[in-house]
Structure 1
Amino acid sequence: MLDRTTVTFAREDSLVTARIDGPRLPVPAPPPYKVGWVPRISAALESRGLSCGLEQGISETFILAPLPDGRNLLITPPQEPAEEQPPGAWLAMALRESDAGCEMWWDSETTGPDHAHLGIGPLLAAVDRRLDGLGVVPRPDPRPVLNEAGAHPSLYRAGFVPVELPTGRFHRLPLGMTDHDEQRGAVTRAIGSLRFEGFEVQCPPELLTEDPRAHHATRARDFGVDHLAAFVSDHARHTRDVVAALDEIASPLDGTLAQAVAALHAAADWWQHLGGPDAERHLYRLHLMATEIDRRTVEVRTLRGELADRHTAKPPGPRAGAPAPPGRDSSRAQAARATSPSARHTPSTGTPPAAQPPASQTSPRPRR
């Protein structure tokens, strides 16, 4: 058992991946509204990637789920005579529509081989063993990894793309990033940020680089949030540049949109304590706006991942964003600065201002 959250980097076929593991939090109690055997068994099967349908039997409903070998899994309480069966008796069988026979997976009826083990728990354990034998994806651990969310921004800003699968989440570098030197630079940036935040890291040496430029801040961060539009319009020459700009606003936890969502929720809570006329209506509107921004932020992250996978330079051409004449800004850049009275003027040509080195840390970060 790991004593703190660890991020493991590896090359898996053509992908460079980062997987998070660590101490597990206690399994939360099931929500009170999930009652009855149908939602409980259906949720257990769907968590392994099976789709469930309901059919009406002689006296009881039964669940029908297609299996990868072409058969169907049928789970039901005893049908006839149900009154003669003990509570907690179940039948589970795999059958094929073109075959009159079936393979019994579980039978805890009075005369069945599993009659001594009543209840849904033993039934699901037996079904899981059968599904394992068929190669069905395992059920993901429902317990969240301790501080898993804290590692996401470091991976996100280094250029990794999150991937959601039935077996869990992992991160990978963009599909179009095939240059090994560039991959090593991204992994090195991610590891530097993760270690600074106090995470444990495991990585093979061949995925690292000693090039000091790998630790430099992105050009989008050099420009600052109030100049991102000008950066994208006048200076972005590669999809990685636009991705870096989107990271500044949509990065989990520390992106400007995530901070705006947290601020709106906090303002609503503050208003609730304040009370007064129309307080409920106003705090409801604040929570609603925060929820909508959060939903849109998720869409931005999805599009950012698709753009990152393209990983290509901006096509040349007269409309490909040629630099504006010296001393003049694009209309987008002018509009972007017009919204911020305190924004500094950044020429549309030349190099961005140098990033300031981070302040030295006099004390280590707490272990996570």
Structure 2
Amino acid sequence: MADRALTIRRDPHSEEVLARGGDPGSHSVLQRAGFVPVHRLHETYHRAPAGLAQEEENRLATEAVARLRAVGYHVDCDPVFDTDRRPAQYEPLGASVAQLADRIRQATTTEEVAEILTELTAPCDGILDAVGQVLTAAAEFHDGLGASTAPYTARRLRYLAEERLAVVCTDLVHTRNDLADRHAPHPSRVACTQEVPTDERERSAVCACPPPPRAIPVPPPVAAGPRR
């Protein structure tokens, strides 16, 4: 597949180390290896961070090649970036949070979804509270960074934590509380108990679920008779 193939090469004109191709999964690997995404009108590619020595760029590109190949991507690269190393892969934090979405997709009652949303909205130790702490810590880091744009970035991060994230959290809290008060099964997600009701005459039935709807057969078209 084309989206499973990438190239990592040093551009002969700009001398930049560039990675092109791939899918969102490979882009995540590249960014975790240290690459910086560049979004253009017709493509998204990745480059090595600015200001690195050539040896450090080579090390970064080699690490990216190793990580990508370890998870099954085909990488065409410069010989200096080639490697047989395959580092161990670990589940990122985002993947464990995404498991909550899978649990919601399988939930059959409002209580189940309320319990899952509590993991996001719980005060002090919920996921959204933790995200707010990360934004605030990043703002504090910029306070003493000394760069000309650092004060603006710090204010922006605090705005995201105190305003935007607070709106998301407030809405989700209301949604969670509403579900917790309903105490109702989802009408189209009734769990199959695999049990036969006691009044079922056909004891060979395997469960009480209604049979799937039968498609009404479509009659064949009427053949045209000979013209008179």
TM range (shorter): 0.3 to 0.5
TM-score normalised by the chain length of structure 2: 0.44
Structure number having the greater strand percentage: 1
Q: TM-score, normalised by structure 1?
A: 0.29
| Bigger relative CO (Cα 8 Å, ≥ 6 apart) | 1
Structure with the larger helix share: 2
